[in-house]
Amino acid sequence: MLVLVIEHDEDRADAFFHALSDRTRRDILRRVLAGEHSVTALAASYDMSFAAVQKHVAVLERAGLLTKRRVGREQLASGDVDAVRSVASMLSELEEVWRGRIDRIEELIQEG
């Protein structure tokens, strides 16, 4: 059971980091964290097709970094700061693993 939960977390981490690995997507995320934007408004900012930008938005949405809400014929995208924080917490866990090594070294120095 625990393994399944861990698997799920790894899937989430895969989606998070993959979504963040493209600079256009990071830029879109910055914009939608700053405020709501329609997909068309976002697309206007980049030198690529509307479809390409729409796909980037979909990747961010699937990763949970962004949510959309329908307003009339527009789809307003908004960044999810909690998702950003949970990515940050994954990195703190990595840092704690490192701190474990330091603690162990200091332990050895104490014993030595």
Q: Name the site residues for a second copy (rule: CB under 8 A).
A: 10, 13-14, 17-18, 20-23, 26, 29-30, 33-35, 79, 81, 84-85, 87-88, 91-92, 94-95, 97-98, 100-101, 104
Q: How many CB atoms lie within 10 A of CB 12?
A: 16
Question: Choosing among a second copy, DNA, none, which partner's interface includes residue 24 (Cβ < 5 to 8 Å by kind)?
Answer: DNA
At 50, the amino acid letter reads F
Closest CA to 79 of 46, 47, 33, 36: 33
Alpha helices in 21-80 (DSSP H): 23-34, 39-43, 50-63
Question: Can you tell me which residue has the tokens 């509307």?
Answer: 50
Residue 60 interacts with which of DNA, a second copy, none, CB < 5 to 8 Å by class: none
Quote the CA–CA distance of 78 and 39 in Å, as a whole number: 11
The answer to whether 59 contacts DNA (rule: CB under 7 A) is yes
Based on CB atoms, which residue is closest to a second copy, 73 or 109?
109
Compute the distance between CA of residue 92 and CA of residue 46 in angstroms, rounded to an integer.
33
Q: Does 68 bind DNA (CB under 7 A)?
A: yes
Q: Which helix (H) or strand (E) holds 47?
A: none
Q: Answer with the entry of DNA, a second copy, none that 95 interacts with (C-beta below 5 to 8 A by kind).
A: a second copy
Residues binding DNA (CB under 7 A): 18, 21-22, 24, 38-41, 43, 48-52, 54-59, 68, 70, 72-76
